[in-house]
Amino acid sequence: MPPSYQAITRRNLPGEIADQIEQLILTNQLAVGNPLPPERTLAQQLQVSRNALREAIRVLEQKGLVVVRPGSGTYVAEPTPQVLRELLGILVQLNTRHLFELIEARKAIEVEVAGLTAERATPEDLEQIGHWLNEMEDHFDLADSYTEADVAFHAALAKAAKNEVLRVILDSMRDALRQNIKILVLRHPTAKQDAMRYHRLIFQALNEKSPEKARAAMSEHLEVVAQDLRDLQEQNLAAGSS
């Protein structure tokens, strides 16, 4: 059954057009490799100008959701880390349950990343990880800056593990991780203190080159994150990030 396009009620808004097509892709109504209707046909279905549609297609192309093949048409693109990153970020915003699924995924991946990083990190890697730890401490009272430093700390760990597949997987989780951290930073009274304690333990284990300690510290960190989220859920404060 072909996807059902809805008429755009606000004229000449490429962002709104792009959003509707993006949702069709994310819900698999438009599958990878599927062509979009010809420009004239799609503009008529959406009841928008062809110029607005072209701008929307450019937005989708920049996001990596579609690929434009001159002389052939516009097709749904193969998933990339960027597409997965946006999808996971959307999922976390839509339903609190996905926050807990994110923690399960992080446990499956980041515990091993911590162990590999303890084995493989170079002095330069440790310097970079330590930099982001210091940034978290320096911006402890600034929610946005603290959150970005926390995300960067985990990204630096993934890079230092020297496993490109794991790094790409974690990169695809970046937006969801940001949502996870920001919810806790804004809503849980001890989340930042908890995180800083375990980040210091992880960094200490890396400097000691102890994979066992690094894995244990990361596992405990993520279990505390899960408990902090459960605390918020009990208070009905886990939904949303603003």
Could you say which of 48, 63, 78 is where a domain stops? 78
Per-residue pLDDT tens digits for 24-68? 987 889 998 999 999 999 999 999 999 999 999 999 988 888 999
Do 66 and 122 belong to one domain? Answer: no
Indicate if 195 and 143 belong to the same structural domain. Answer: yes
Last residue of a domain, one of 44, 61, 78: 78
Residue whose entry in the numeric block shows the structure tokens 């959701």? 65
How much of the chain exceeds pLDDT 70, in percent?
87
Kindly state whether residues 19 and 129 are assigned to the same domain.
Answer: no
Per the structure, the complete domain to which residue 224 belongs is given by: 83-234
- For 159-169, write each residue's pLDDT tens digit: 999 998 888 88
Q: Is the model's pLDDT at 6 over the cut of 50? A: yes
Same-domain check for residues 125 and 139: yes
- Chain-centre distance for alpha carbon 180: 9
Question: For the chain, what is the mean pLDDT?
Answer: 88
